[in-house]
Amino acid sequence: MSNKKRFNKAVKEIMNLNNRPDDKTLLLLYSLYKQATEGDVSGGLPVNGGIPAIAKYRAWKKQKGKSSDDAMSEYANFVSVLLERSDKISNIESWKGRTVLISGASRGLGRAMALRFAAEGANLVLLGRTLESDDGKGSLKDTAEQVESMGGKAVVAVCDVRTDEDVIAAVQTGVDSFGGIDAVICNAGAL
């Protein structure tokens, strides 16, 4: 594939990134694009355009002397790396089959996070001090039932996170049930 075709393809592909690049990366992409399509920067510093215009000008000026062909090649290569990283990040962000331990999971934010992770396919280890509740405020069993009604998997462990033995036993429950723990969310109000 010719350099120009690779460049044009990269210009289209950059719009499909899952995650927006940081500002420094965007400036580099901008400067390479401008060098590839217009050549060396001309004119003076665009002070009336404000800080963004000055930043763009300076980034483009750093490319001075680079051929259009070299700028196209560098742009296409850089976009390729960004897309590859973006794909890897997307794969990491999948929670399907991963195990998440959540303290304070009987109600409130802990319950909300548990339900969200369940919707993403995560296995859950739910920690809290309230196994069952008579006052209607919520319990570990209530949260586990909601997770399971969504098709998720959950185990509960009554645990006071201020006690090492309780935490060790809760982690072991997760390991025994799901083979390990991939993420921990410390949400307990007792912390």
Residue 80: CATH number of its domain: 1.20.80.10
> Tens digit of pLDDT for each residue in 118-174?
988 999 999 998 888 777 678 899 999 999 998 899 999 999 999 999 999 999 999
Nearest to 153 by CA among 161, 143, 164: 143
**What DSSP letter does each residue of 15-69 carry, written as one string?**
GG-SSPPPHHHHHHHHHHHHHHHH-S--S---GGGHHHHHHHHHHHHTTTT--HH
Residues 119 and 170 in one domain: yes
For 149, the domain range is: 99-185
Q: Are residues 115 and 177 in the same domain?
A: yes
- Are 119 and 75 found together in one domain? no
Residue 156 lies in a domain: yes
Q: Nearest to residue 142, comparing CAs of 152, 133, 129? A: 133
Looking up tokens 């921990």 gives: 184
Domain of 138, CATH number, reads 3.40.50.720
Measured between alpha carbons, how far is 35 from 18 in angstroms, rounded to an integer?
Answer: 26
Q: Are residues 12 and 36 in the same domain?
A: yes
End-of-domain residue from the set 50, 65, 92: 92
- Split into its structural domains, the chain has a count of 2
Buried b / exposed e along 7-36 (16+ C-beta atoms within 10 A) = beebbeebeebeeebeeeeebbbbbbbbbb
Same-domain status, 14 and 73: yes
Q: How far is CA 147 from CA 100, 119, 152, in A?
A: 13, 8, 5
Residue 93 has pLDDT above 70, yes or no: no
Per-residue model confidence as pLDDT tens digits over 162-189: 999 999 999 999 999 999 999 999 988 7
Domain assignment present for 45: yes
* 58 and 111 housed in the same domain: no
Same domain? 108 vs 155: yes
Per-residue pLDDT tens for 1-44? 898 999 999 998 888 776 777 888 889 999 999 999 999 998 88
Residue 130 burial (CB count, 10 A): 19
- Chain centre distance of CA 61: 33
Cα gap 95→147, rounded to integer Å: 14
**Which token pair is 139?**
């319990």
Task: For the beta carbon of residue 154, count every other beta carbon within 10 angstroms.
Answer: 26
Sorting pLDDT into bands at 50, 70 and 90, what band is 84?
Answer: confident
C-alpha of 10 from chain center: 23
